Amino acid sequence: MVSKIKGKERRLNIRKTCYTKLRLTLSALILSVSVISIYSSPPDQQAQATGCPDLKILFARGSGGERYTSGDYLAFKEAMEEKLVTTDLTYEFDDLDYPAISIDIGDGHLGTLLGAYFGGGEAYEFGDSVRQGSKQLLKAINSDVCKSTKYILAGYSQGAIVILDALGRIAPEKIVYAATFGDPKIYLPEGMGPVPPACGGKNLSEYRIYVPDCRASNGILGARNPYILNGYAGKIGTWCNRYDILCSSYLSVDSHTNYARDGLYEDASRFIMSKIGASFGISNQYTSPHDTAILIDSTGSMNGLINKYKSEAMRLAERTLESGGRVALYDYRDLKEGYTPVERCNFETCTLESFRAGLDEIRPYGGGDAPESLLSASFQVMKQLDWSFGSTKSLVVLTDDTYHEPDLDGTTFYDVQKLSKQIDPVNFYIITPKVEAYQALAEATGGAVASSMDDLGLLTDSILERFDSLPRVEEEFEDEHYENDIPVVNIDHVEEISDESVKISFTNSGEATVVILNGGIIGTTYEKEVTITGLKAELDNQITLVPLSTTRRGVGVTIEKPHSRTLDESEHDNNIASIEGTEPSSAREEIVIPKAPNTGKK
């Protein structure tokens, strides 16, 4: 919704605005970018060879980050460099020379924190910082005398805006890949609506690499639409941490500041290396660590197949462990026999020797009716194992028969599918003569099914070659209950009460409203009416109201006010926005910020 109003403005003042008591309850109320006091060599000392390098990697840090020492720059550089050194490519790293305007978290109020974050308390300086960054990026690439050099671009938070602002003026053939992290202007249309398509795993944007929140749609500063520019298809990808306040529908500042801790730069480096490999014609040797659980049907009918199955299981275990992954081994039968899954070794205890010993212990016996208790067994195995965050997760099932649906203990197909997706997902790979019976289960969990030992060998290869370690999206399920719906704000009335002031009346289904002026957050309020005066007369001012519930963020609504005059040169020094308000007269309930990402295990 966009409304337009007219009038002259001078100074900024929000009346009837209550700073919220939305105190962030996490202890990690730290600067938006962790600053680590470690010296990092300037780019001319990082080149692997003299002359023009094959590749230049440019990083645009977030607000408050110091050049060459910000934690995000160092984490991204380390993740990329440990892979690049194994190639014959020559390369340079650089941290973009731009202000990355700093923050001041002040007294911890959400409005103060976010207002400072996006503009150092001065809303218009945030835009100036972004423009300077885009200008510097264009200069670095377009004036580069090394015409054969290609670029990797990466930007965190404010830096993500810088990267995408500049791309439209850079020739696509110069760019191998551009990655954004915690982008405050993310755009994911599949996350919109009361039942977003993304929550069913549908219509996912091609550039959505890791955004687990299926209701993420717009960033807190709005949306960059289109997100992919002409010529950049397949060259742009975005990562948004699970509860990141700036790009997801949640409100966690901690989630926004922990991209390094939560392994997103490592995940991105593997993905980017696949793009580098394709661009330079080199093989990609980097996959994510693997968690592979092998579940073997040990009923009597498996006598004719068990030795072949064991041989391929052993090959898969060897290759997984050699690549730095983890394996687990279980066998199952039919619950009618009272036989529940037997753990032979788990992710913590499985070595090549213990895995081999576990295989030797599995001896086919019993059975009778055709279906077996795979649903119950797979559900229990997934819950028992300690899956690691960021790993590629596989459940390999070796069986010769069909399965009960529902299982004898009540476990359903839906239960298994749901748990698989909630964990990361866990992809089911099934080798069985009964291919048709297992197609639906393999598809529902993102896996595959094979019918012969030759196919199983190919399946083993495909499992280990995967590197999609983090889920593009976490799907929701029909019976899922959400205690906190996404809040909605609606503008009821916009009134120009004088030449210098505008009154906005609105309703909000949430608890509070963030007020944004021209890309800078200037405060939060519990009220349903704000009066703004003194807006910059030389700008096409945009006032955006973003609703907050106790744990979720909704999509903002914007009111536009066209410019009314051009400032004299002498007035330009008096353009810093200010804010006035009063503390609420009574205590407000604190907002509880969601936890940072986990493995999905309860």
Give the CA distances from residue 472 to residues 164, 209, 496, in Å, rounded to whole numbers and listed in that order.
21, 5, 45
In 10 A of CB 444, how many CB atoms? 17
What's the rounded Cα separation, in Å, for the pair 114 and 32?
10
Q: What is the pLDDT of residue 32?
A: 32
What's the rounded Cα separation, in Å, for the pair 419 and 417?
6
Residue 75 CA to its chain's centroid (Å): 16
Q: Pick the range with the lowest mean pLDDT from 130-144, 446-460, 524-538.
A: 446-460
Strands 426-431 and 392-398, sheet pairing: parallel
Q: Comparing 104 with 535, which gets the higher pLDDT?
A: 535
Cα-flanking dihedrals φ and ψ of residue 263, to 5°?
80, 15
Phi-psi region of 556 (alpha: psi -120 to 50; beta: other; left: phi over 0): beta
- Kindly report the average pLDDT of the chain as a whole number: 79
pLDDT band at 79 (very low <50, low <70, confident <90, very high): very high
Query: Count of domains in the chain?
Result: 2
Determine, yes or no, domain membership for 137: yes
Q: Are 223 and 97 in the same domain? A: yes
Q: Comparing 25 with 566, which gets the higher pLDDT?
A: 566
Q: Comparing 363 with 286, which gets the higher pLDDT?
A: 363
- pLDDT over 70 at 123, yes or no: no
What's the rounded Cα separation, in Å, for the pair 299 and 297?
6
Q: Determine if the peptide bond prior to 226 is cis (ω within 30°).
A: yes
Which domain does 172 fall in, by range? 49-280
pLDDT band at 531 (very low <50, low <70, confident <90, very high): confident
Q: Comparing 75 with 195, which gets the higher pLDDT?
A: 75
Mean pLDDT of 332-337: 90
Q: Comparing 189 with 594, which gets the higher pLDDT?
A: 189
pLDDT band at 50 (very low <50, low <70, confident <90, very high): low
Residue 400 CA to its chain's centroid (Å): 39
Q: Are the C-beta atoms of 179 and 173 separated by less than 8 Å?
A: no
Q: Are 265 and 295 in the same domain? A: no
Domain closes at, from 221, 256, 280: 280
Q: Are 310 and 221 in the same domain? A: no
- pLDDT over 80 at 455, yes or no: no
Q: What is the pLDDT of residue 457?
A: 64
Q: Are 55 and 201 in the same domain? A: yes
Q: What is the pLDDT of residue 195?
A: 87
What's the rounded Cα separation, in Å, for the pair 219 and 341?
45
- pLDDT over 70 at 17, yes or no: no
Q: What is the pLDDT of residue 102?
A: 63
What radius of gyration do the chain's Cα atoms show? 27
Residue pLDDT, tens place only, 399-430: 999 999 999 999 999 999 999 988 878 999 99
Q: Comparing 514 with 384, which gets the higher pLDDT?
A: 384
Q: Are 133 and 176 in the same domain? A: yes
Determine, yes or no, domain membership for 551: no
Q: What amino acid occupies position 46? A: Q
Query: What CATH number is attached to the domain comprising 171?
Result: 3.40.50.1820
pLDDT band at 565 (very low <50, low <70, confident <90, very high): low
Q: Collapse the DSSP code of 128 into the 3-class scheme (helix H, G, I; strand E, B; otherwise coil) and give the result.
A: helix
Q: Comparing 116 with 152, which gets the higher pLDDT?
A: 152
Q: Determine if the peptide bond prior to 425 is cis (ω within 30°).
A: yes
Q: Are 361 and 321 in the same domain? A: yes
Domain closes at, from 439, 465, 491: 465
Mean pLDDT of 435-440: 92
- pLDDT over 90 at 568, yes or no: no
Q: Are 86 and 108 in the same domain? A: yes
Q: Are 322 and 385 in the same domain? A: yes
Strands 91-95 and 290-297, sheet pairing: unpaired
Q: Reduced to 3 DSSP states, what percent helix, strand and coil does the chain have, rounded to the nearest 5? A: 30, 25, 50
Q: Are 455 and 345 in the same domain? A: yes
Q: What is the pLDDT of residue 450?
A: 85
Strands of the 448-450 sheet, one edge to the other: 342-345, 326-332, 290-297, 392-398, 426-431, 448-450
Determine, yes or no, domain membership for 594: no
Residue 546 pairs in a beta bridge with: 514
Q: Are the C-beta atoms of 249 and 215 separated by less than 8 Å?
A: yes
Query: Which residues, at least 6 apart from 184, have a Cβ–Cβ distance to it below 8 Å?
Result: 118, 157, 158, 160, 161, 219, 220, 221, 246, 247
Determine, yes or no, domain membership for 359: yes
Determine, yes or no, domain membership for 566: no
Q: Which of 339, 335, 318, 337 is nearest to 327 (CA)?
A: 318
Element (H, E) at 166: helix 158-167
Determine, yes or no, domain membership for 597: no
Q: Are 211 and 120 in the same domain? A: yes
Domain closes at, from 402, 436, 465: 465
- 149: which DSSP letter? -
Q: What is the pTM of this model?
A: 0.71
Q: What amino acid occupies position 9? A: E
Q: Are 269 and 306 in the same domain? A: no
Give the CA distances from residue 547 to residues 16, 83, 480, 524, in Å, rounded to whole numbers and listed in that order.
17, 42, 23, 10
1 burial type by CB count under 10 A (0-12 exposed, 13-18 middle, 19+ buried): exposed
What's the rounded Cα separation, in Å, for the pair 311 and 307?
6
pLDDT band at 502 (very low <50, low <70, confident <90, very high): confident
Q: Considering the chain, what percentage of its residues have pLDDT values greater than 90?
A: 49
Q: Comparing 426 with 561, which gets the higher pLDDT?
A: 426
Mean pLDDT of 151-168: 96
What's the rounded Cα separation, in Å, for the pair 206 and 226?
12
- pLDDT over 60 at 242, yes or no: yes
Q: Which of 432, 448, 452, 451 is nearest to 440 (CA)?
A: 448
Q: What is the pLDDT of residue 64?
A: 86
Q: Pick the range with the lowest mean pLDDT from 162-171, 206-215, 473-482.
A: 473-482
Mean pLDDT of 169-189: 96
- pLDDT over 70 at 540, yes or no: yes
Q: Comparing 94 with 502, which gets the higher pLDDT?
A: 94
Q: Which tokens hold the place of 76?
A: 């991204």
Residue 180 pairs in a beta bridge with: 155, 238
Q: Are 107 and 226 in the same domain? A: yes
- pLDDT over 80 at 579, yes or no: no
Strands 501-508 and 489-498, sheet pairing: antiparallel
Query: What CATH number is attached to the domain comprising 311?
Result: 3.40.50.410
Determine, yes or no, domain membership for 516: no
Q: What amino acid occupies position 384? A: Q
Determine, yes or no, domain membership for 562: no
